[in-house]
Amino acid sequence: MSRIGMIDPADWDYRLTAAIDPDNRSPLEQGLTRFFAHCPDQALGLMSFAGSLKAGRTLPERLVELVRLRVAFFNQCRSCMAIRYSDALADGLDEGAVCSLERPHEAEGLSDAEKAAIRFGELMATDHLAIGDAHFAELRRHFTEAQIVELGMTCAFFVGFGRLAATWHMVDELPEAFQAEGSVTPWAAPGIQVR
């Protein structure tokens, strides 16, 4: 059971309803908005920030999704792990690539750029002060300065809000595999939702 009460979309501030159109989304797709609805002004600001990260993205969707899922594993954000975004699937993400996240640095199906971005994301989630000059040199082999900044902002978003979502324990509507006690993984889990 969630540790924070969800607000039914019928009771949302009209601006949230206009921004997300809950009538055309499943409860899982309404996601964090049902919790953020307690603070509609902040929720709208967050939606604007998240939207700008998405709209201005120059990094490949597949790469961003791989980083997101690896961070979600370290955060143990079950709702994050249970979702696959359709734009990443359209960009070549499949469950084989997701399964490679168990040991991404050994995976043959990941590009060097993906591995560098995943490594940056996992360090952001586990030991951000370990990120040093060598990591940035590796990132510069694959990405522009602007893309490195974009990756950093995206990872910060994933780490921070993934951890918040994990503390709220939003598992009620997730597939059974993501409701289990203990550590769960985004790879090899049945019942994935496409968003």
Percent of the chain exceeding pLDDT 90 equals 59
Q: What is the mean pLDDT of residues 14-21?
A: 86
| For residue 21, pLDDT beyond 80 | no
User: What integer pLDDT is reported at residue 18 of this predicted model?
Assistant: 87
Q: What is the DSSP string of 129-174?
A: GG--HHHHHHHHTTS-HHHHHHHHHHHHHHHHHHHHHHHHT--TTS
Find all residues with CB under 8 Å of 186, minimum gap 6, and list them.
69, 72, 73, 80, 81, 82, 98, 101
Predicted TM-score (pTM) of this structure: 0.89
pLDDT in tens, 155-193: 999 999 999 988 988 777 777 777 777 788 887 666 666
Is the Cβ–Cβ distance between 89 and 64 less than 8 Å? Answer: no
C-beta separation of 71 from 125 below 8 A: yes
3-class DSSP assignment, residue 84:
strand
